[in-house]
């Protein structure tokens, strides 16, 4: 049944394109990638085989009675590094944290209070290191290859994990646990500003995954979860809390097709106690 749903969804996406045409395109794309690997690393990939050509067609008629799932949402504008200018432009965006600094300047008095000063110092350390980090980790390549967008997306993902991830977690923690109205408001607003900055560098929050959903249906979007015991069997496997939401980094691959890099989020999931 699952394969029927998948194929029905596939036909819904293909429209007038036949399945054989779709598989041929996929096979051609795979073979082009293999050819590049062979030429770039002849000793390592000399024995790699081309994908077989698929010529049989399949009619969508057999899927008329199956339930077609909704197509996935297209999230965000993909990274497209097609020149050295594009590379430099993206690095400039990464280094431009003026929106974050301006926000923190507006909360200067709050951040200098006893309860916030250590957290403020930690935030500043993370942000102050961004420019040097970008200069070191995003050095301009001599040539812009066809996989430059994928490489930039991977580096962007590591950048977010290294420099922004802890700030997102601190905001979500502050929103949940800080009972002071002014500080709670700060964490909410700072989280929104961080997400606005991430949008500017093609990193998009996965908003449709929320607490209350089944974890195992969304496990691709999370690291190994933290367990939380529950005696309610209906809650087992359900996401209780999201400490950091998953994010998506879309990019164009070497064939100009849209791909996505997932930054796995952090969550707490209800589990059955071990002693039961």
What are 157-169's pLDDT values in tens digits? 999 999 999 999 9
Q: Which pLDDT score, from 0 to 100, does residue 39 have?
A: 60
Q: Does residue 131 sit within a domain?
A: yes
User: Do 147 and 231 fall within a single domain?
Assistant: yes
User: Do 121 and 250 fall within a single domain?
Assistant: yes
What are 250-261's pLDDT values in tens digits? 999 989 999 999
Residue 158 Cα to chain centre, angstroms:
11
**Candidate from 35-44, 184-193, 198-207 with smallest mean pLDDT:** 35-44
Rounded Cα–Cα distance for residues 184 and 173 (Å)? 10
Q: Which pLDDT score, from 0 to 100, does residue 16 have?
A: 44
239, two tokens: 């996401």
26, two tokens: 């996929």
Q: Does residue 196 sit within a domain?
A: yes
Q: Residue 268 belongs to what H/E stretch?
A: strand 266-271
The chain-wide mean pLDDT, for the chain, equals 83
Pair 57, 19: CB distance under 8 Å: yes
User: Do 235 and 156 fall within a single domain?
Assistant: yes
* Sheet of 266-271, strand order: 226-229, 266-271, 239-244
For the chain, what is the domain count?
2
Residue 51 CB contacts under 8 Å (≥ 6 apart), including other chains: 27, 30, 31, 34
Three-state SS at 18: coil
User: Do 128 and 190 fall within a single domain?
Assistant: yes
pTM (2 d.p.): 0.74
Q: Does residue 69 sit within a domain?
A: no
Give residue 36's pLDDT band: very low, low, confident or very high (50, 70, 90): low
Rounded Cα–Cα distance for residues 196 and 202 (Å)? 10
Domain around 12: 2-63
Residue 34 CB contacts under 8 Å (≥ 6 apart), including other chains: 45, 48, 49, 50, 51
User: Do 109 and 178 fall within a single domain?
Assistant: yes
Q: Does residue 238 sit within a domain?
A: yes
User: Do 121 and 186 fall within a single domain?
Assistant: yes
Instruction: Answer yes or no: is pLDDT of 150 > 80.
Output: yes
Q: Does residue 76 sit within a domain?
A: no
Higher local confidence (pLDDT), 61 or 108: 108
**Which residues, listed in sequence order, are joined to residue 267 by a DSSP beta bridge?**
242
User: Do 188 and 56 fall within a single domain?
Assistant: no
Rounded Cα–Cα distance for residues 33 and 46 (Å)? 13
Q: Which pLDDT score, from 0 to 100, does residue 142 have?
A: 87
Q: Which pLDDT score, from 0 to 100, does residue 7 have?
A: 46
User: Do 57 and 90 fall within a single domain?
Assistant: no
Q: Residue 251 belongs to what H/E stretch?
A: strand 247-252
Q: Residue 252 belongs to what H/E stretch?
A: strand 247-252
Pair 213, 238: CB distance under 8 Å: yes
Number of Cβ within a 10 Å radius of residue 158: 12
Instruction: Answer yes or no: is pLDDT of 2 > 50.
Output: no
Q: Does residue 29 sit within a domain?
A: yes
Give residue 27's pLDDT band: very low, low, confident or very high (50, 70, 90): low
Higher local confidence (pLDDT), 241 or 70: 241
User: Do 124 and 56 fall within a single domain?
Assistant: no
Instruction: Answer yes or no: is pLDDT of 110 > 50.
Output: yes
Q: Does residue 191 sit within a domain?
A: yes
62, two tokens: 């057999």
User: Do 54 and 159 fall within a single domain?
Assistant: no
103, two tokens: 């926000």
Give residue 138's pLDDT band: very low, low, confident or very high (50, 70, 90): very high
Pick the last residue of a domain from 15, 30, 63.
63
User: Do 19 and 141 fall within a single domain?
Assistant: no
Rounded Cα–Cα distance for residues 191 and 207 (Å)? 14
Q: Does residue 154 sit within a domain?
A: yes
User: Do 93 and 58 fall within a single domain?
Assistant: no
Pick the last residue of a domain from 14, 30, 63.
63
Q: Which pLDDT score, from 0 to 100, does residue 8 have?
A: 46
């Amino acid at each position: 049944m699952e394969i029927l749903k998948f194929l029905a969804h596939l036909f819904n996406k293909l429209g007038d394109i036949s399945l054989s045409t779709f598989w041929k395109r996929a096979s051609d794309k795979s073979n082009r990638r293999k050819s590049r690997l062979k030429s770039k690393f002849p000793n390592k990939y000399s024995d790699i085989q081309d994908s077989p050509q698929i010529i049989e067609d399949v009619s969508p008629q057999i899927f008329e009675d199956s339930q077609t799932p909704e197509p996935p949402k297209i999230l965000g504008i993909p990274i497209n590094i097609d020149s050295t200018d594009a590379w430099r432009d993206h690095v400039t965006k990464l280094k431009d944290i003026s929106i974050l600094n301006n926000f923190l300047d507006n909360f200067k008095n709050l951040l200098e209070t006893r309860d916030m000063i250590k957290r403020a110092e930690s935030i500043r350390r993370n942000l102050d290191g961004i420019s040097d980090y970008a200069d070191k980790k995003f050095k301009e390549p001599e040539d812009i290859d066809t996989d430059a967008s994928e490489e930039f997306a991977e580096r962007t993902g590591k950048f977010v994990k290294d420099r922004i991830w802890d700030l997102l977690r601190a905001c979500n923690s502050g929103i949940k646990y800080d009972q002071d109205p002014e500080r709670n408001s700060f964490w909410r607003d700072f989280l929104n500003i961080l997400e606005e900055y991430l949008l500017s560098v093609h990193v998009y929050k996965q908003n449709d995954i929320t607490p209350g959903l089944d974890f195992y249906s969304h496990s691709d979007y999370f690291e190994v979860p933290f367990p939380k015991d529950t005696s309610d069997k209906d809650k087992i496997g359900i996401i209780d809390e999201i400490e950091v939401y998953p994010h998506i980094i879309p990019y164009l691959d070497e064939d100009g097709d849209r791909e996505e890099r997932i930054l796995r989020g952090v969550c707490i999931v209800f589990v059955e106690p071990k002693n039961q």
